[in-house]
Structure 1
């Protein structure tokens, strides 16, 4: 029999469960194994991993490393399937994602003994995390104690790297009703006009991280992180990759990282160019991964750096 490659991002064991019936949605939870033969006890710490456009469970090369680190700290790793997973994002929205993530959190509280949450967002999972903190149910948001944003890039700026017709597509999307489909040539996945505008138009619902946003605009989009952190003890990590292939080369990633962190720390201006993004006393801090690409597939060392930085968040919550 012809051999098959091993699961490239690791093999996971745990519980698969349905957390919503309308629509039908499932999630997978892997928990620390008990040190003895005694029955496992319910784990109250849950880390939810959210992938980017087109992703489902096991979305990144560091998923297994993240799971192992969570387990060593006494946290479970939960990987949901949302209606927006895989190609479902094309007819979805951040609001729908937030509603479904809250359903997951509520289920984990009711049936899996959850008392505290952490979130790791990759790519559009970063937008999901920021949106949930701003618009999610306050009682559930107050339970989120640590958030890591890995590759919080601008879809609006990334589309310029792959499409010469994006402005024509924007104009066409504006001419359609929101739930009408864009032409197949507009994007690599089926997508409605409303989702296309949300991702790629100026001031779209997904437009949190663009480099051309003013300090005031970034504060409007991200400033709630500081407010929540000071009320609930939330700590947040912004991890940017120096070689992220979805960021145009003309964008200074170091400057953008500083501006994002400053906005998340409640500053409504761009601040000092030499502002410290590593301030452990602040709600948000930054991490530049010097060698890696968008999903950290290009350098194992930076995967370790990122996961260890997330471990430090879990240690202080």
Structure 2
């Protein structure tokens, strides 16, 4: 199937694919959502961004961002590198469309990328964005702990973390791990280096932004630092298989929302929240579930365009 649009080369070797606007569009320079996928994702690998693009108001468009970490590149990458490249992409569109709004929408690890963009090292020098949408922002660590939670399997997980940490501590974080070294490493896929394995699996690893067992004080140093100029919306599938059944999804989103607001930030909790019937990336979900998510995103940018505040 053909997908008409524009490929923006925002830095050497990387593009952002902007879905074509409807023929009746009268806005030659629309506001834009920059969509960032998760581990193994690339251009057009997740279906719902195309549906969002075709449903947006004529004053908005959506572009899917290709990173070095896309497809199989995730296992030897880092959130820091992703945030740097995302910064180049945002700067490209800021220059191309001065005065227009920019929203970052992450799916899965794309959510961690957004958090790193806003809060990680060097964030002060990066361009500000008007909003962020965190869809399927789950904890890789808790997902793997849930999958490898008992007996010999839990020992395999602990051994994988210890092996990765030992290499990182020896300055060998870039060393690619053998899939035969541990069943967890084999299940994760690859190529996968020690640094990224530790980052994804260990408590306090660089990817560990969304774990439910982190303290409020920890979250005050992450969510609590999101600036009040960037409106936040959470979207988490009620049937997301990567969230352990023991976790109350609505309560977790309410906790993050409270901490953001205590820090002076703004959260859209009217259209945001737990999406009934939704799985991780909604692929294969019923049309009404997908349209629910699409409608929430459209409502978010519509309100942002009217400069409405949803901090209620």
TM-score bracket for the superposition, by shorter chain length: 0.7 to 0.9
How far 1:283 sits from its partner (Å)? 2.8
Q: 1:242 aligns with which of 238, 259, 283?
A: 238
User: TM-score if structure 1 supplies the norm length?
Assistant: 0.82
In the TM superposition, 1:116-155 aligns within 5 A as 116-135=101-120, 137-138=123-124, 140-142=126-128, 144-155=129-140
Once the two structures are superposed, the pairs formed by residues 61-140 of structure 1 within 5 Å of their partners are: 61-70=47-56, 72-111=57-96, 115-135=100-120, 137-138=123-124, 140=126
1:1-317 pair list within 5 angstroms: 7=1, 11-21=2-12, 24-35=13-24, 42-70=28-56, 72-111=57-96, 115-135=100-120, 137-138=123-124, 140-142=126-128, 144-163=129-148, 164=153, 165-176=156-167, 177-185=172-180, 186=185, 187-225=188-226, 228-229=227-228, 232=229, 234-266=230-262, 282-285=266-269, 286-297=272-283, 298-317=285-304
**Cα offset for 1:129?**
1.2
Distance 1:68 1:35 in 2: 12
Report the CA distance between 1:162 and its aligned residue: 3.9
Cα pair 1:264 1:284 within 8 Å, conserved: no
CA distance 1:125–1:153, change in 2 (3 Å): same
The 1:157–1:106 alpha-carbon spacing in structure 2 relative to 1, beyond 3 Å, is: same
1:69, 1:311 within 8 Å by CA — same for their partners in 2?
A: yes
Per-residue deviation, 1:300: 2.3
Deviates more, 1:301-310 or 1:192-201: 301-310
How many residues end up aligned between the 2 structures?
A: 284
- Between the aligned partners of 1:313 and 1:81, the Cα distance in structure 2 is 24
Give the superposition deviation at 1:171.
0.3
Question: Would the alpha carbon gap of residues 197 and 87 (structure 1) be closer, same or farther in structure 2, given more than 3 Å must change?
Answer: same
Q: CA RMSD in A?
A: 2.3
* Structure 2 length-normalised TM: 0.83
Residues 38-75 of structure 1: per-residue CA shift (max 9 Å, x gap): xx7641412101110000012423122111123x2411
Partner of 1:273: none
Deviation at 1:191, TM superposition (A): 1.0
List alignment gaps of at least 5 residues for structure 1: 1-6, 269-280
Shift of 1:83: 0.4
Structure 2, unmatched stretches of 5+, are 305-312
